């Protein structure tokens, strides 16, 4: 299966380059993955821009965005052991350290997921529909 997720689909690198991922702890081969190049990068950036400008995200409420971030936090927690093992194999870290890292990432998603649903500061009318301005101290 290709390793690059670009424009809503999994694909191989345009130039078909791959890279071996080896565990720094013992040098064992962990995986061979597609390695993105310049053309892949341009395609990914263009796809992300299109998705942001014309996709549903700009019209998604803050509460829905927060719910999505909370869902990501839950998925990180659900797959904690698998993700920690992958991180350890990639970096050579002890498994317990990688598990703490996954917890930290999940906590960040949870924090911002909760924050997205809160309205803080003073709302200022910008005179432009669909534009919010808040003064936060």
Query: Tokens 């990180």, residue?
Result: 76
In 3-state terms, the chain is what percent helix, strand and coil (to 5)?
50, 15, 30
Q: Is the pLDDT of residue 119 over 70?
A: no
Q: What pLDDT is recorded for position 120?
A: 66
Predicted structure pTM score: 0.77
pLDDT at 118: 77
Q: What is the mean pLDDT of the chain?
A: 91
Predicted confidence at residue 125, as pLDDT, reads 74
| pLDDT > 70 in the chain, percent | 96
Q: Is 7 helix (H, G, I), strand (E, B) or coil?
A: coil
Average pLDDT, integer, range 90-112: 96
pLDDT at 123 over 80: no
- Residue 60: beta bridge partners? none
Tens-place pLDDT, residues 31-44: 999 999 999 999 99
Question: pLDDT of 9-39, one tens digit each?
Answer: 999 999 999 999 999 989 999 999 999 999 9
Residues 28 and 22 sit within 8 Å (Cβ to Cβ): yes
Looking at residue 137, its pLDDT comes to: 61
- What pLDDT sits at residue 124? 74
Please, which residues bridge with residue 18 across strands?
34
Is residue 90's pLDDT more than 90? yes
Long-range contacts, 113-122 (Cβ 8 Å, 24+): 113/66, 113/67, 113/68, 113/69, 113/70, 113/72, 113/73, 114/66, 114/70, 115/66, 116/62, 116/63, 116/65, 116/66, 116/69, 117/62, 117/63, 117/66, 117/67
How far is Cα 92 from Cα 21, in angstroms, rounded to an integer?
Answer: 11
């Amino acid at each position: 299966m290709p390793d690059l997720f670009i424009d809503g689909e999994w694909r191989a690198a345009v130039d078909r380059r791959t890279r071996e991922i080896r565990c720094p702890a013992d040098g064992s081969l962990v995986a061979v993955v597609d390695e993105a190049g310049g053309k892949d990068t341009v395609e990914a950036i263009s796809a992300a821009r299109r998705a942001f400008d014309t996709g549903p995200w700009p019209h998604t409420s803050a509460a829905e965005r927060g719910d999505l971030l909370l869902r990501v936090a839950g998925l990180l927690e659900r797959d904690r052991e698998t993700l920690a093992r992958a991180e350890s194999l990639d970096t050579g870290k002890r498994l317990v350290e990688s598990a703490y890292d996954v917890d930290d990432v999940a906590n960040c998603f949870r924090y911002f997921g909760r924050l997205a649903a809160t309205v803080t500061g003073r709302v200022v009318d910008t005179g432009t529909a669909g534009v919010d301005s808040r003064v936060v101290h």
